[in-house]
Amino acid sequence: MQWRRRYCCAHTVKLLYFLSLLGVLVFLVHQVWMPHLTGMPWSRAYPVVNRGGRPNTKAKLNMSSQHSMWRSDIVPQLTFKTDANIFHEKEGISFHQGDLHFENTLATKASQNEDVDLSYTITPGPYPYIINEPNKCVSNRTAPFLVLLISTEARKVEARNAIRETWGNESVALALGFIRLFMLGKNEGELGLSQQRMLEAESQRHHDIIQQDFMDSYKNLTIKTLMGMNWVAIHCPRASYVMKTDSDMFVNTEYLIYKLLRPEQNPKKNYFTGNNMKGFAPNRNKNSKWYMPPELYPNDKYPTFCSGTGYVFSGDLAKKIYQASLNIRYLHLEDVYVGICLAKLQIEPTPPPNEFLFNHWRVSYSSCKYSHLITSHGFHPNELLKYWHHLQSNKHNACINTFKEKMSRSHSNKMNGKKYSQ
Tell me: the pLDDT tens digits for 165-181?
999 998 888 889 999 99
Q: Go through the chain and tell me how many residues it has.
A: 422
Its sign, for the CA torsion 111, 240, 225, 137, is negative
Q: Which CATH architecture has domain 49-397?
A: Alpha-Beta Complex (3.90)
Chain centroid, CA 147 distance in Å:
13
Least confident interval from 37-46, 145-154, 372-381: 37-46
Q: What is the mean pLDDT of the chain?
A: 78
Nearest partner of 137 among 123, 147, 124, judged by Cα: 147
d(CA 330, CA 341): 11
The model carries a pTM of 0.75
Helix spans in 144-238 (H): 157-165, 189-206, 221-235
DSSP state of 281: E
CA dihedral (260, 261, 264, 269) positive or negative: positive
Continuous H helices in 34-171: 35-38, 57-62, 109-112, 157-165
Rg for the chain, CA atoms, rounded: 25
Chain centroid offset of residue 367 CA:
21
Share of the chain above pLDDT 90, in %: 59
Q: What's residue 415's pLDDT?
A: 47
Q: What is the mean pLDDT of residues 24-45?
A: 46
What mean pLDDT is predicted for residues 321-343?
96
278 closest CA partner among 297, 255, 304: 304
Cβ contacts of 287 within 8 Å, gap of 6 or more: none
Residue 308 near residue 334, CB atoms below 8 Å: yes
**How is residue 137 annotated by DSSP?**
T
pLDDT at 310: 97
One-character DSSP codes across 63-87 = S-TTGGG--TT----EEE-TT----
Query: Cα–Cα distance between 51 and 57 in angstroms, integer?
Result: 17
Write out pLDDT tens, residues 254-309.
Answer: 999 999 999 999 999 999 999 999 999 999 999 998 999 999 999 999 999 999 99
223 by DSSP, 3-state: which?
A: helix
Region 323-335 average pLDDT: 95
Separation CA 290–CA 267 (nearest Å): 35
Which of the four pLDDT bands, split at 50, 70 and 90, describes residue 26? low
How confident is the model over 20-35, as a mean pLDDT? 52
Closest alpha carbon to 197 in 206, 187, 208: 187
**8 A C-beta contact, residue 260 and residue 352:** yes
Q: CB of 250 within 8 A of CB of 369? A: no
Distance CA 291, CA 219 (A): 11
pLDDT tops 80 at residue 74: no
